[in-house]
Structure formats: structure tokens, C-alpha cells
Amino acid sequence: MIKKFLAISFKKDGQHSPLYLQLESEIIQLICRGILKPGEALPSSRELAQALQLNRKTVVATYEELGAQGWVETKDRSGVYVSRQLPDTAARAVPPNTTRSRQPGFPLIIKRPSNGATRIDPNVEIDIPGAKAPLYKIDDGFPDPRIAPIEQLVREYRRFGKSRFTNRLLMYGPEQGSYRLRVELATFLNKTRGMQVTEKEILVTKGTAMGIYLTTQLLVRPGDTVFVPEPGYMDANQTFKLAGANLVFIPVDKEGMDVDRIEQLCKKKAPKMIYIIPHHHRPTTVTLSAERRMRLMNLARKYRFALLEDDYDFDYHFTSNPLLPLASLDTGGHIIYVGSFCKSIAPGIRIGFMVAPEVMINEAAALRKLIDRQGEQLLEEAIAELLSTGEISRHIKKSYKIYQGRLDNTCRLLREQLGDYLTFDRPNGGLAIWAAYGKNISAREVALHAEKLGLEISDGSRYFFKPNVSLPNDFIRIGYCSLDETEMAGAIDIWKQALISGRRF
């Protein structure tokens, strides 16, 4: 019986796992389905090997592994049997070549917000049947990992992995993150951003997204009002929506969020929290003016709401000195400040930070422990060393010059090649350019045409979130840092071809 079933279901698939493990899985499936009963004899290793055209050693290894796991038992001079200790399961008819179900066998609560939840993030690589691998990708504003100090980071990672501290670093550590990294972060933030914080007010996170999520879970309850910019950062909006927040959308102009509108709304009902990106707003790249910063801080003190300040790419500013974060002005404990090294080093280096009053950091650490016991201490220690030696500061200075050149080059190419199709203002910093297509040009249609020609580019669908409104589809955010001058020229040439070939839209 077993030889018959296995001959039908067992297929050699050397690409995934060793043959003995594949055979083991098939036998376990027959036991769980009730086809093989407790106490039932299994074929000898020689018989099964002949039936399945396998080496006998493969079957012997399978039986040994099944025995070690308690699925079968061996009797001297008798053979191999399904363990009698297993529960008897009624046999279920299973069609031949049945594969694992791709649907859950239980009720699932869908937690994604309905608005915008099914849109594809243009920065996540996916496989589309029939689509060509893109020659170029213009992203949302990422650094170039090719110039990141990876060798130095790996060197320090390896050094800590071989040091006398290795055992300690491979055990559980503080939920708040590496003590040394928090000390170095405090020094770095105080020096570069004019802040006055200690390590007790810092939680190491895996990027800004974790800081936004933890803040939301601690502050927002269903029905609470959160003010968000529009256009804005969709992932943050979805996080607030999942917590049950009532989102109120605040317009963004060339000076940042409309503080007049915020003040008007506060007079009627103050929010629980305001989410703001004052430096190089995402997606429009504008910076909140000094006058609006002061007014917003005064409103936070007056109406006692929290300000969640997302400072995802503070390090790059090309026309003047940057305005310091709102957190550098905070004397009343109103601001939760989140940032990361994902934009200054590389997106895959998941080291971020959350700065807030100590009592909130302790609560955030306790909450983070439930979903992610702690960060990776070896990586955190390596980053701390690069901060201590000034390696990260040197990298930022080096990349600053490179990115400034790429910004100049991209702006020139956009004006020369695409000036008839889109308009933009040269940003004063950050990692991206915000542009608007001309009349009757759809960002979605352009993206579809460009994809066929080998260019992956935003379809303009992730910048506006306001429900029940006809959302604009003629804006695009152009990351200029991750492509060098030659690559950007090639990408924009394809982009122009897509615009010319799609004049009908």
C-alpha cells in the first residue's frame, strides 16, 4: 500500500531539499492523513528503494530520521513500523499530486486599510509574468548602496563577532538596543541636530517605520484624531488607520503643512497627534518654514497634543544650512522624533532610532519586546563603532558631494529631455525631486509604457490618501541618488521614449 501511494505522490526535486528529507515528508503526510495507521509495517529499505528507484542508503537515512522524530519504531528482526504512540487518524481521500493549500484554513481578520491598501509599492521588486527585467529603476529616493561603507561595517561586525564580548553580544540584550549605540546616537544627534538628549531617551529601532508603529500603538486609540499631511507618506497613514485613528488631512504647500488650517481645526477639536515631516517632506521635498515651526510648537503646548516628527533624510541639504528638527526646540516633551540610517547608508541597514521622554521610551521598549525581542547586537555594536570613529560622518560628507553632482545632472537632463512634459522645482536637499506632468499626461500610463521599454518608474498612486476624493495621478517623485550620471541619462532617455510613444494619453 505505502509503495503504491509513494509511487504516485513522491517526486524527486533535488533543487529544494535532499531526497531523504523529501521522502520523509511524504511518509509523514501519509501518517497524518490516516493512510498509514499506528503499528502498521513499512516496507523494508530494500523494497522501498527498488519501488521508488532510490539508493537504499537514502531510504535507510529516511527511516533513521523518522525514528529519531518519533514517527516510526524499529523492532529487531522484524522491521520498521509506524509508531504505536501516535493517535489513530481516520483516512481522508486525497487526490493524487495534491499540493499545500494556498488559502488559510481559518477565519482571517483583514487589517489592511481599504484605502490604498492594494496599491503596489514601486520600491518593492516583484515578478510580473511576461514583464522584462528593467534596465533601470528610478526609485522613490534611496541612497546608492554601492558607495556605502559596507567594507568598514563588515570589518567591525567581524571584529565584534570574534572578540571576547561575542558570547555576551549573542545573548539577549537590552530591549532599548545596544547601550553603546544609544550613547553614540545621543552624541551624534546632539552634535548634528542641536538636540539635548541622553541614551535613556533613545530606543534603537529597525528603521523609522518601527518608531511610527510603536508611537501609534502607545498614543492612538480607536476614534482618536490624527492630523496628517496631504500629499503624504502612505505607509504612516496606513499605520494610523490600522490603530483606528480618524485621519484629518492637512494641505501641504511650498512652506510645508498649512499651520493656519491646523490652528483652525484645533479651535474646534484638538488632535491626539500630528504626524509631520518638516525636513524634505515626503513626497513633495519642501521644508517647513521657521515661522510655521514656531507656531506649530506653540499649538502643541497650548492644546497638549503629540508631534510625531519623521526626519528620514536630514543629512542631505545643498542650498543652505538645514533647519534644525522640531525636537531640538522641544522643552515640553511634546515631540517623538524618529529617523534612521537607511537613507544615509543603505535601505538594507535596518538601524533607526526613536527619541522621546524616558518614560515613553521604556513603554515603547516593552511593547517592541512583544514583536521583536531586540535588535541585532553585533550590527548595533558595529554601527556604534563607525559613529565613534567618525566613519559615518565621513561617509555622509563623501556621499554629499556625489549626490549634489547627481542632483545637478538630473535636473539638467530633466529640463533638456523632459521639459515639454513635466515641471519641477530644484529641491534644496533630500534624495528626490517632486515633479508634475503636463496636462492630460497620466503617471500611470507613462509608467506602463516605460515598463515595456525597460524602465521602472512610479505610477503616481502612492502620494495621496484622502478617501472619497478623485486623487491626482499626474505627480511623480524622482529619486536621483541611486543612479550615476550615465545610468540616469539612460533612464531618462527611455522615459522620454515612453512619453513620446504614449502621446495619446
- Is the CB of residue 153 less than 8 Å from the CB of residue 160? no
pLDDT at 118: 40
CATH of domain 136-142+396-501: 3.90.1150.10
Cβ(382)–Cβ(153) below 8 Å: yes
Q: Rounded to the nearest 10 degrees, how much is the dihedral formed by the CA atoms of 139, 145, 146, 147?
A: 110
Structural domain boundaries in the chain: 2-82, 136-142+396-501, 147-389
Residues of the chain above pLDDT 90, percent: 55
Q: What is the pLDDT of residue 314?
A: 84
- pTM here is 0.81
What are the DSSP calls for 454-475, one per residue?
TEE---S-SS---TTS-----E
Q: Could you report the per-residue pLDDT of 267-278, keeping only the tens digit for each? A: 999 999 999 999
| Residue 119, pLDDT score | 43
Q: Using CA atoms, how far apart are residues 238 and 216, in angstroms rounded to an integer? A: 11
- Please tell me the predicted confidence (pLDDT) of residue 252: 96
Contacts (Cβ under 8 Å, ≥6 apart) of 197: 186, 189, 190, 355
Give SS3 for 262: helix
pLDDT for residue 154 is more than 50 = yes
Multiple choice CATH, 147-389, 3.40.50.720, 1.10.540.10, 1.20.1050.10, 3.40.640.10: 3.40.640.10
If you average pLDDT over every residue of the chain, what do you get? 86
The arithmetic mean of pLDDT across residues 426-436, rounded, is 93
Same fold, 136-142+396-501 and 147-389: no
- Has residue 100 got a pLDDT over 70? no
CA distance 478 to 457: 8
The dotted CATH code for 2-82 is 1.10.10.10
**Rounded to an integer, what distance in angstroms lies between the CA atom of residue 213 and that of residue 69?**
40
Mean pLDDT lowest among 4-8, 426-430, 457-461, 492-496: 4-8
pLDDT in tens, 344-363: 888 888 889 999 999 999 99
C-alpha 327/C-alpha 227 separation (Å) is 18
Closest to 156 (Cα-Cα) out of 346, 331, 392, 489? 392
DSSP state of 229: E
Residue 290 near residue 323, CB atoms below 8 Å: yes
